Amino acid sequence: MKDKNMVRDHAGVRAKERMSKGGRERERERERERERERERERERERERERERERERERESKRERERERERERERGRERERERERERERERERERERESTRGNMDGPSSRKLTNNDSTAPTYFEALAFKKEKKKKKKKKKKKKKKKKKKKKKKKKKKKKKKKKKKKKKKKKKKKKKKKKKKKKKKKKKKKKKKKKKKKKKKEEEEEEEEEEEEEEEEEEEEEEEEEEEEEEEEEEEEEEEEEEEEEEEEEEEEEEEEEEEEEEEEEEEEEEEEEEKKRKTHTHTHTHTQTHTYIE
């Protein structure tokens, strides 16, 4: 009887030991779970920080765009000012012409020196210069048209390329998603099989497995989120590159416009010099003896 009691006591001690051991193990598991939760929280905080950084980047981009718009507006204002200045210059020229006409007398007079209506040397020279100028203008217009056409073609090509790239990217993304889904399905099937196999085992072990599965699923979801974020970042980078290219094109256009304006100003200066020369020669020719029919 004494021996039986001793055996019973010994079995009770061993059961207590097992329970305390299991309790310690569960406590350790809970601690690990808490650590994982803290890690997930840190990851979420990092993600929020990344999002804030992206927002700051977008804001700076918008600010750059606003600055470019202001610069374009200033350019347009300068152009309007130049146009007003040219208009004033033309007005002054018209006034000079009208005063010159009044000084020289009526413009409907005909020169009949020795009954000749042939143009003078200076008139012929002016005609030649006018012809040359018209030819130059025509050539310039043609060049401009050609340039515009080329630019349009380039733009169209670029648009086509962009569309193609987008389509390719979409296709790739779809394929990737499909593959992932398939993989996930396979994994789930495998897990189900495993679960069935281990159904005969203890309930505690099953619970642990379920927890592990949930953790794995969470990790997979986090991985998916990270991949999506990376894709978004890539898209944003591509958009930035395209914007930079557009900026360069706009700058080139502005430079071309400035060159054209300079050429126009040079032509106007040449015209003024030519007019001054004409008035100078006109005063000289009046000293010659000519017969005029009023």
Which H, E and C letters describe the chain, residue by residue? CHHHHHHHHHHHHHHHHHHHHHHHHHHHHHHHHHHHHHHHHHHHHHHHHHHHHHHHHHHHHHHHHHHHHHHHHHHHHHHHHHHHHHHHHHHHHHHHHHHHHHHHCCCCCEECECCECCCCHHHHHHHHHHHHHHHHHHHHHHHHHHHHHHHHHHHHHHHHHHHHHHHHHHHHHHHHHHHHHHHHHHHHHHHHHHHHHHHHCCHHHHHHHHHHHHHHHHHHHHHHHHHHHHHHHHHHHHHHHHHHHHHHHHHHHHHHHHHHHHHHHHHHHHHHHHHHHHHHHHHHHCCCCCCEEC
What's the confidence (pLDDT) of residue 293?
43
Range of weakest confidence among 8-12, 79-83, 110-114: 110-114
Report the range of poorest mean pLDDT among 34-48, 95-109, 242-256: 95-109
| pLDDT of the residue at 289 | 46
Within a 13 Å sphere around the CA of 120, how many CA atoms are in the beta-carbon half? 14
For residues 90 and 271, give the distance between their C-alpha atoms in angstroms, rounded to a whole number.
11
Of the candidates 285, 44, 103, the one whose C-alpha atom is nearest the C-alpha of residue 36 is: 44
The 10s digit of each residue's pLDDT in 240-291 is: 888 888 888 888 888 888 888 888 888 888 888 877 776 655 444 444 444 4
pLDDT for residue 7: 52
What per-residue confidence (pLDDT) applies to 291? 46
Tokens of 162: 């962009």
What is the reported pLDDT for 118? 54
On the question of pLDDT at 100 being above 60, the answer is yes
pLDDT tens digits for range 148-189? 888 888 888 888 888 888 888 888 888 888 888 878 888 887
- Is residue 138 pLDDT above 50, yes or no? yes
| pLDDT value at residue 192 | 79
**How far apart, in whole angstroms, are the C-alpha atoms of residue 209 and residue 142?**
79
Residue 72: pLDDT over 90: yes
Predicted confidence band of residue 191 (pLDDT cuts 50, 70, 90): confident
Give the start-to-end residue ranges of the domains of the chain: 1-103
Q: In terms of pLDDT, which residue wins out, 244 or 76?
A: 76
Percent of the chain scored above 90 by pLDDT? 20
Q: Which long-range contacts (CB under 8 A, 24 or more apart) does 56-61 make?
A: 57/236, 61/240, 61/243
Average model confidence (pLDDT) for the chain? 79
Closest CA to 147 of 244, 255, 262: 255
